[in-house]
Structure 1
């Protein structure tokens, strides 16, 4: 066997025309051969109770079997295949009977073929069985043949992924004999007796052969394409199926699937949503959602467009997508209606222009169950009719009291107001009621003879008919306008939600604010609880954000289990999805093309199925937006972290290089001088010994400055720097600095230029001394011998300015800002020993005092370091001395 797992397992389908042909027996035989070759074979689910030979083979071969999963359903104990155990055991091959099986509510997935899909996704091979009547696209044909509606079906799109199809068949007579021997339950036998007829079985066998041949042809064509074998390839024609909320649409979709398979073409299922054509009832909306889901399961591209004219929108889409075949259902309408208004089918045929139109007549059985009737009765509201009655009664009283002098035509026009008002606010039926009631009131109170429904002048009868026609027309237009307005509001709300989310997500950079905004926006739009799950550092999901109005929902154990499953598998789960649909919440993975960032959960417990379907599409779009926004913020954080890591590595390298260099030189000097003193006690004179000791001291001072700078930088970086502010005499600070640099000043002259009144500063004198020592030390290092360094002090209304000017090599324009960065050194200064920390520490200390430090070119040559510091209220500290002079040392 393979040493490494495949990304997806192989699916082998044992296909038969009916139960009893020997599919399970053939599957077990093939599995035995695989086991003999060394494969690890596991029985996932086998049903062989009615077939002794199959049961005997399964027991003789002693295959390993997975334990079933126990589920409580309606007070009874039910058993289903345990998919999670199969995946956990990870066999090479698993055997699963009855691919079409529908799992009991409470199972992880509602249908067995979804369980098989999950197993295949783990790289496990699957053998499974199926009868031809359970193929979704053949469902209507099978119903016509056997007279029974098949409920358990498998979509063609899933079956197309089968790697191998093994046909299992026996003659019809032999199958009937096997049926009579296998089924001993008279009730069950009687139910299946109509199915097991020679004519039915032969028709099903023919369908099985055709289906297998079609799949073989598709596999052969795919093989020739893959191997670049030339051949007469058919030109694919795109097919379009038009659907609505009618139950007949499911038959159109299955027919479209068969035709698309025959033509080897892509196909589209389209629904045109118009304001006047929207499904009015919840049942109709749910029916439409099921049609679109069926189309997706059968492999169609589902397109939903909006417009006012269905035929025009269909043909526009067909031409834009290069559709050559259209399947449309023929409506069941009275012929007299078609005399006045052409049907959608006629409009499509009239304007098709080269597109082939397939009109499928159908007479679906429309039955209204008790639930629908009760819902219709409960949905009826008497308030609009009571309001209309009161409105017309009040209007009649007013007209009778003040409007008898009006012309009857004007009075009739006034009665149109209740009609228009009720059409706009309450719909079509209340407006028709208003029109009828208005005619009766007009006739009874204003048309002679008054207070009687009798009409003396027959011309008024025509007027009444015209009035009713005008009222009906205006009411229809007003009601349609109301529908269009509601339709536009619904679309606008969805668009506004997506726009607001995308705009806010783009603007927000803080991660927590982003999650809070997403949850609250969804909660406000849908009006329910929202939770967002994100993984912690150990990849365990936590509720990271939730809607502020419902912060508790989503933290229960059941919700956490579903959220973890969605995060691990990257699939939607919960209500309205294909997994754990009994759950009240809908869980959407927040995923991009390459990563899953978390899970979005929305509570849809009390929502109708149609509302769930509408929210499903909206939440999918929002989930994509949210995942992109989270990815953007995460990417920004990762980029910052990468930048910080790179910067830390650069600083670490620079620190090691600088420190090792700066320590090595003074240490070597100290060691050499100390060694000379020890070993050459009698060789050196007193002056030589003093020189060596001076060298040791200079090296120690240099190391001390290095350690002081390092400690200062550590304090600045960690935020541990604390200023001990007090009033400091600038002259004293400069004096201390001059004494510290005196030993390595060598042959350079340092001059100090002080103002008439030497200012005081409110600051930390020790840190300010360190700043000046670093600046003056740099000036000494980069200035030639016998040059002058000038320290000057000036004050104005804004503060005190200290300037250190040298005549050294200077700083290039491009480096004057960067010299204050940690470990940065200009190229022209690298020949001079140094760490690049001195000016960085100076900048941190000066900014901590609320000041600034900058570098500028000196007038002739060299560098000017300018330090600006704020001053406090100093007027009370010393009197002004008009006789004062500038002092220079």
Structure 2
């Protein structure tokens, strides 16, 4: 694959104007009716109206009128795709998305892209363009509609390979029918004006009058049906009363047979004509399990076709196909059942029962439509089902050995047993085989059990003949009982296996969901995803997330060979999946040549990364059930990544908002706190300068004292700010040494002396307090801040009490004031930065003093708290750990040494 062919700029699928473009389909009966010319003419009108129109892809035509129209419109050059042997030209979808026109013209909607293209079909390219908000004009022939494929094949006698699902065409805003007379179409073909239709279609056999007439009729009917559907939708949306058809449902029964595709298309046509919903159902029973990889692929392809055509696909596990079909039909109010006519022989149906007959017999009010199939195709799938490569011989050897062992034991120890008891003992191998391996080995056990019982125990022994004919009845009863027992046990085994499988899937989804809910770290979440997904699906997993620069990188991976996830082709696919938001690789429609599977980690509005699954068996195809499990796990992983990213973004937003709030509070506090002392200082200095001769020495001393108080107030503010910065940045370093608490208190009292005015500070320090190991400068700052707060919020002529005592291993310092007090709900918040009570808003302050005190005390491994003082006021309690001084510590060590010796 060319590694450069999918490189394009980021965000190409994101529309700048609208979320989804409008699709206009030009429909014709066949090539040569003038679809391309009609499309070009409509595009030229749009260009004249001022729209930006581009030709994305147009087949080469010799018609002069087409060439003239093409000259009027800008054209995008096709992209070359080549390998060692071949080269192809395909539509350059990346260039279309980059240029982002308002309208793009794309011919041949049903075209299959060349190998190596990102998408298998051109209509999927169109879907990506529509998702980018770009309108599309395109052309299609009636025989390229998927639901009409079988009818067209019968009409023209050839099979059409390139088709478009009806579900895609239903999204078209308009379907414009382009028609020409049949004779005119044939004349253009004979003149060589119509290109070859398809590689597998003989144009001479195709362009016959009968074929053209039939195709024109189909095109007219299809266009009329679309118009009728649009009319119904319009009347419904505008609440226009009318004779609405009764809502019905159609159900089609699907299997691994290739004939199921024909049934699905017929069910689609029936549902369209009845304007009904339709369901495609596959019933899995113990006897009808897909027994080969080819059969599983066929079943997967049939179910995928039904889904593409718009059906609701249901897979049911049960014991009886007919019972499960009818039960689902009644629960879903289905009125029409489409089922294929079986090709089994009468003897096979007599032995195993006929599903069709059982459905018809018990359908009652439900109509059943039986469609005959093609014998050769049906025989092919039957041959695959019973192929010898699926037959395992080990169970039969084990059952044979168990019957031989049982017979030997009975011949040695069981000769005294009754024949009835011996016959019952031979049921054990039957039960063991049915539970362990299924219906085939259990029937084998019943058969050889009867032979062993007859030969070794029924008289005459050592002979297969019987002396009494009643023994033949016993043999028949034994076989019937063994058969019924084996069948019931086999069904029980199948149900048990299914229950275990569903339980395992449920447990996996629950476990991953619980783990993703618990983790809050992205790295841990990715590891859990990787481990859980790789263990569940038995494959290697790689997770790609965008870096800070937006470039995808391999973030998490399973143990094993990582070369597959780091190779350039893998990275190209990863970038494509991340850019387009579509699944790609094995079992998908996009980049299907890759043996690995790539899924976008996508939520509703964002793509968070890519999950890559490397299958250990490169030839294994991803089945629908396996794909559903992988998609469920991927969806859970994407939601977990989105949740963690949202949490991280919420934290950033919260921190930003908190920083903004703190910045605003800081600026308000600083401006308020600086304004008053600055105004005082400026006023005093101005008075001294302007009126120096007027003031007496006492007046000058008072003014200078005022200047000093203002400067000290500003100094305290700056000190508090610097202290807060040191605490917040983690740069606060303690310089501890042994100090006397009374000395520290004395220094603090000296600093607050000028602020006391008429207040009194009473000391009550216990004399038994030993030296403490603290940073005396920082502890002095704590005491000064707390005392200043007490002074600031206490009334004049009140008493402030500073006391200290020893309490076990801590020194407790209490500062009591007689102020208004703090409301109980605010006691725990006064140590927060910039916090100030509602009742103290008119008192100057920044709200940093107590926050700094808390940081300093916690750095000393102590605590600080506020409580109510009785009868009024507040108590600030500071607790500092108490350690033994070095001298006392050495004496204690010496005493312990003497006692030990």
Q: TM-score, normalised by structure 2?
A: 0.90
Q: For the Cα contact (< 8 Å) 1:423–1:478, is it kept in 2?
A: yes
Q: For the Cα contact (< 8 Å) 2:160–2:201, is it kept in 1?
A: no
1:147 aligns with 2:160: no
> Equivalents in 2 of 1:706, 1:549: separation in Å?
62
Q: CA deviation at 1:528?
A: 1.1
> Equivalents in 2 of 1:97, 1:60: separation in Å?
13
Determine the structure 2 residue equivalent to 1:583.
594
User: Greater shift after overlay, 803-812 or 267-276?
Assistant: 267-276
Aligned partner (choices 680, 694, 700) of residue 705 of structure 2:
694
Q: CA deviation at 1:820?
A: 0.9
> Equivalents in 2 of 1:541, 1:358: separation in Å?
53
> Equivalents in 1 of 2:759, 2:340: separation in Å?
103
Aligned partner (choices 61, 80, 90) of residue 100 of structure 2:
90
Aligned partner (choices 266, 269, 273) of residue 280 of structure 2:
269
1:725 aligns with 2:720: no
User: Greater shift after overlay, 690-699 or 235-244?
Assistant: 235-244
**Superposed CA offset, 1:102-134 (max 9, x none):** 112221100011111222223333332221111
Aligned partner (choices 27, 47, 56) of residue 15 of structure 1:
27
Determine the structure 2 residue equivalent to 1:666.
677
Q: CA deviation at 1:878?
A: 10
1:137 aligns with 2:147: yes
Change (3 A) 1:383 1:324: closer
Determine the structure 1 residue equivalent to 2:205.
194
Determine the structure 2 residue equivalent to 1:883.
none
Determine the structure 1 residue equivalent to 2:303.
292
Change (3 A) 1:58 1:604: farther
> Equivalents in 1 of 2:628, 2:413: separation in Å?
57
Q: Secondary structure at the match of 2:108?
A: coil
Change (3 A) 1:500 1:253: same
Q: For the Cα contact (< 8 Å) 2:399–2:433, is it kept in 1?
A: yes
Aligned residues between the structures: 876
Q: For the Cα contact (< 8 Å) 1:282–1:608, is it kept in 2?
A: no
**Correspondence list, 1:262-341, <5 A:** 262-335=273-346
Change (3 A) 1:476 1:234: closer
**Superposed CA offset, 1:426-468 (max 9, x none):** 3332333333333343444444554444555544444444433
Q: CA deviation at 1:513?
A: 1.6
> Equivalents in 1 of 2:761, 2:197: separation in Å?
120
Aligned partner (choices 43, 46, 54) of residue 42 of structure 1:
54
Change (3 A) 1:428 1:310: closer
Q: Secondary structure at the match of 1:472?
A: helix
Q: Secondary structure at the match of 2:599?
A: strand
Aligned partner (choices 707, 720, 737) of residue 709 of structure 1:
720
Structure 1's unaligned 5+ residue stretches are 881-889
1:539 aligns with 2:546: no
Change (3 A) 1:723 1:401: same
RMSD: 3.2
> Equivalents in 2 of 1:506, 1:187: separation in Å?
54
> Equivalents in 2 of 1:373, 1:598: separation in Å?
41
User: Greater shift after overlay, 513-522 or 59-68?
Assistant: 59-68
**Correspondence list, 1:480-495, <5 A:** 480-495=491-506
**Superposed CA offset, 1:656-712 (max 9, x none):** 111111112112222222222333332222222222222222111111111111111
Q: CA deviation at 1:317?
A: 3.6
User: Greater shift after overlay, 865-874 or 29-38?
Assistant: 29-38
Q: CA deviation at 1:69?
A: 2.5
> Equivalents in 1 of 2:383, 2:90: separation in Å?
33
Determine the structure 1 residue equivalent to 2:603.
592
Q: CA deviation at 1:153?
A: 1.0
> Equivalents in 1 of 2:366, 2:201: separation in Å?
49
**Correspondence list, 1:11-90, <5 A:** 11-35=23-47, 39-48=51-60, 52-53=62-63, 57=67, 61=71, 63-72=73-82, 75-90=85-100
**Correspondence list, 1:551-630, <5 A:** 554-604=565-615, 606=617, 611-630=622-641
> Equivalents in 2 of 1:451, 1:656: separation in Å?
110
1:792 aligns with 2:803: yes
User: Greater shift after overlay, 285-294 or 708-717?
Assistant: 285-294
1:116 aligns with 2:126: yes
Change (3 A) 1:568 1:222: same
**Superposed CA offset, 1:718-774 (max 9, x none):** 111122222222111111111111222222211211113123222222111111110
Determine the structure 2 residue equivalent to 1:164.
174
Q: For the Cα contact (< 8 Å) 1:32–1:61, is it kept in 2?
A: no
Q: Secondary structure at the match of 1:554?
A: helix
> Equivalents in 1 of 2:868, 2:196: separation in Å?
107
Q: CA deviation at 1:140?
A: 1.5
> Equivalents in 1 of 2:750, 2:493: separation in Å?
92
Q: CA deviation at 1:375?
A: 10
Determine the structure 1 residue equivalent to 2:478.
467
**Superposed CA offset, 1:492-549 (max 9, x none):** 1111111112222222223322222122111111111112233333333333333356
Q: For the Cα contact (< 8 Å) 2:673–2:845, is it kept in 1?
A: yes
User: Greater shift after overlay, 462-471 or 106-115?
Assistant: 462-471
Q: For the Cα contact (< 8 Å) 2:27–2:175, is it kept in 1?
A: yes
Q: CA deviation at 1:291?
A: 2.0
Determine the structure 1 residue equivalent to 2:110.
100
Change (3 A) 1:694 1:496: same
**Superposed CA offset, 1:578-628 (max 9, x none):** 211222222222333333333322223626666442221112222222233
Q: For the Cα contact (< 8 Å) 2:259–2:378, is it kept in 1?
A: no
1:178 aligns with 2:184: no
Q: CA deviation at 1:777?
A: 0.8
Determine the structure 2 residue equivalent to 1:521.
532
> Equivalents in 1 of 2:852, 2:565: separation in Å?
51
Change (3 A) 1:696 1:754: same
Q: Secondary structure at the match of 1:165?
A: strand
**Correspondence list, 1:793-872, <5 A:** 793-872=804-883
> Equivalents in 2 of 1:333, 1:185: separation in Å?
41
The structure with higher relative contact order (CA 8 Å, sep 6+) is 2
> Equivalents in 2 of 1:487, 1:813: separation in Å?
63
Determine the structure 2 residue equivalent to 1:683.
694
Q: Secondary structure at the match of 2:539?
A: coil
Q: For the Cα contact (< 8 Å) 1:501–1:518, is it kept in 2?
A: yes
Determine the structure 1 residue equivalent to 2:4.
none
Determine the structure 2 residue equivalent to 1:125.
135
Q: For the Cα contact (< 8 Å) 1:73–1:105, is it kept in 2?
A: no
Determine the structure 2 residue equivalent to 1:394.
405
Q: For the Cα contact (< 8 Å) 1:445–1:451, is it kept in 2?
A: yes
Change (3 A) 1:235 1:375: closer
Q: Secondary structure at the match of 1:818?
A: coil
Q: Secondary structure at the match of 1:793?
A: strand
Q: CA deviation at 1:274?
A: 4.0
Determine the structure 1 residue equivalent to 2:896.
none
> Equivalents in 1 of 2:890, 2:466: separation in Å?
116
Q: Secondary structure at the match of 1:571?
A: coil
Q: Secondary structure at the match of 2:757?
A: coil
Q: CA deviation at 1:316?
A: 4.1
User: Greater shift after overlay, 715-724 or 401-410?
Assistant: 401-410
Q: CA deviation at 1:333?
A: 4.1
**Superposed CA offset, 1:323-368 (max 9, x none):** 3333333444444566677644444445545444434343553367
> Equivalents in 2 of 1:59, 1:699: separation in Å?
87
Q: Secondary structure at the match of 2:24?
A: strand
User: Greater shift after overlay, 816-825 or 373-382?
Assistant: 373-382
Determine the structure 1 residue equivalent to 2:425.
414
Aligned partner (choices 388, 392, 395) of residue 384 of structure 1:
395
Q: For the Cα contact (< 8 Å) 1:72–1:78, is it kept in 2?
A: yes
**Superposed CA offset, 1:614-650 (max 9, x none):** 2211122222222332333333333333222222221
Aligned partner (choices 239, 255, 273) of residue 244 of structure 1:
255
